[in-house]
Amino acid sequence: MIHRVLILGGRGRIGSSVAQDIATHTQSQITITGRSPVAEGDADAKWLTDNQHWNAGTQVQFLVLDLAEVGKLREAIARSDLVIHCAGPFHYRDTNVLQTCIEQGVNYLDVSDHRSYTSKALNYNEQAAAAGVTAIINTGIFPGISNSMVRQGVEQFEQPEKIHLSYLVSGSGGAGITVMRTTFLGLQHPFEAWINGNWQLVKPYSQREVINFPAPYGRSGVYWFDMPETFTMPHYFPSVKTVITKFGSIPDFYNHLTWVAAHIFPKWLMQRRSMIEFLSYVSHFMTDVTNPFSGIGVAVRAEVTGQKDGEKAVYCSNLVYENTALASGCGTGSIAQLLLEGKLKKPGVSPVEEALPTDLFIQAMDSRGIKIDHHWL
């Protein structure tokens, strides 16, 4: 059976990486969308014509579609077996795509990475469950693969107590301008974090911490950053009293520039969309210059502390991958593959750590050559 997969925002770097993974690992017919036709020489869409390394039997087609075209969107969803929402930034998105999938009985994935959208999506859990629709949110690399690394760590303990997630991205990470927007949007407001059993207000890009990542990164600085797992994990792992999510960049001077934007720039200025656009384009231009030296890789470190055999212990997982965007594609694509093959079914709306069993996660990463190191500290 040939499944039909619709990837909204599939022409972007993250969406195209998801499409590439699905095309490599399934026989699905893939439709990717963009708001305008593919122009000749469009770098973001080059993979559309340069796909000789994909499965030759896979059919990929392009559909011009703006999410504001509600009727056209409904028709595209109705023709699909799985919809994958990659059209960020999700700070601005409503849940119309998810709602339409539930109404049409179509399974749903997204690469959302902001708590505002996650909160709205989770409100449709009961409707999705009643419709028999599996909707898994926050897939990708972080959140996404990182969530499953935490779940695997949590399962090592009788009573997990603390989760510490650290993310590091080199240069642009191989992603497009949307990811830059997401970073600067995340600096606009303080956010609540689950610390010592209480919700506490935290300033974005504060409390620098030096983390020892695997080679080639070594000791690198990370800072508090608002992520959906900051509040989804306390819900799914109720014995956990602290969840820390910190993010950093390579080269390190990007961290200092981001810190200035978060702490020195006037708040009213950072809350203007024009300022976010300016900073995003300037940053993307800068990473184009530094990418040849820094690379575009990613490192994820998931540290879980808890009670093991009556004693306090720490379980640490590390992942390093050479291309951040491709890693995100593996995270979302692997879950898509499991859904299409009928190996994963969880009606309702769930974040990754709740929906994906560890055994399936391990199989998916192994099949993609993604190695995760585990050790006790």
User: Distance (Å, rounded) from C-alpha 320 to C-alpha 314?
Assistant: 20
Cα→Cα distances 308→89, 153, 202, 314, 372, Å: 40, 12, 30, 9, 21
Range of the domain at 134: 4-140+325-371
Give per-residue pLDDT as tens, 264-293: 999 889 889 899 999 989 998 999 999 999
Q: What are phi and psi of 240, to 5 degrees?
A: -75, 130
Residues paired with residue 162 on neighbouring β-strands, in sequence order = 242, 305
The pLDDT of residue 52 is: 43
For residue 377, being part of any structural domain is answered with no
Same domain, 253 and 104: no
Q: How many domains does the chain have?
A: 2
User: Distance (Å, rounded) from C-alpha 303 to C-alpha 119?
Assistant: 25
Same domain, 58 and 38: yes
The pLDDT of residue 174 is: 85
| Residue-wise DSSP of 338-359 | HHHTTS----EEEEHHHHS-HH
Pairing of strands 198-202, 82-85: unpaired
Structure tokens at 60: 């990929």
Same domain, 305 and 353: no
Residues paired with residue 76 on neighbouring β-strands, in sequence order = none
User: Distance (Å, rounded) from C-alpha 122 to C-alpha 349?
Assistant: 6
Residue 85's closest CA among 98, 66, 75, 74?
A: 98
Q: What average pLDDT does the chain have?
A: 92
CATH of the domain at 78: 3.40.50.720
CATH of the domain at 308: 3.30.360.10
Q: Which residue has the tokens 């409707």?
A: 127
For residue 228, being part of any structural domain is answered with yes
Q: SS3 for 365?
A: helix
Give per-residue pLDDT as tens, 121-170: 999 999 999 999 999 999 999 999 999 999 999 999 999 999 999 999 99
Structure tokens at 150: 């935490």
Same domain, 239 and 358: no
pTM: 0.93
For residue 146, being part of any structural domain is answered with yes
Provide mean pLDDT across the span 343-347.
97
Q: Is the pLDDT of residue 49 over 70?
A: no
Residue 248's closest CA among 289, 285, 294, 279?
A: 294
